[in-house]
Homo-oligomer: A and B are copies of this chain.
Amino acid sequence: MTAVTIVEVGPRDGLQNEKASIPTESKIAFVDALSRSGLKRIEVTAFVSPKAVPQLADAEAVMRGIVRGPGIRYGALVPNETGLMRALDVKADEVAVFTAASESFNKKNINASIAESLARFAPVMQEAKRRSLPVRGYVSTAFWCPFEGRITPKAAADVARKLFDLGCGEVSIGDTIGKATPKDVRDLAVALASAGILDRCAGHFHDTYGMGVANALAAFEAGITVFDGSAGGLGGCPFAPGATGNVATEELVWLFEGLGVKTGVDPAKIAEAAAVIEPALGHPIEGRVFRALRKGSRSSQNPS
Contact = CB atoms under 8 A, between A and B. Distances in A.
A298 B244 contact: no
Contact of A255 (B176, B181, B292): B181
Interface string A278-304: 000000000111011001111111111
B243 A288 contact: yes
A46 to B, nearest CB: 8
Instruction: State the oligomeric state as a number of copies.
Output: 2
A1 interface: no
Interface in A183-242: 183-184, 204, 207-214, 216-218, 237-242
A264 B108 CA distance: 36
Contacts of A299: 108, 146, 238-239
A244 B288 contact: yes
A303 B240 contact: no
Interface residues of A, number: 67
B259 A183 contact: yes
22 contacts: A17-B302, A52-B301, A53-B301, A98-B303, A138-B303, A181-B258, A181-B259, A183-B258, A183-B260, A184-B258, A207-B288, A208-B292, A209-B288, A210-B212, A210-B254, A210-B255, A211-B251, A214-B214, A217-B218, A240-B292, A240-B295, A241-B295
Interface of A: 13, 16-17, 46, 52-53, 77, 79, 98, 108-110, 138, 140, 146, 172, 174, 176, 178, 180-184, 204, 207-214, 216-218, 237-244, 248, 251, 254-255, 257-260, 287-289, 291-292, 295-304
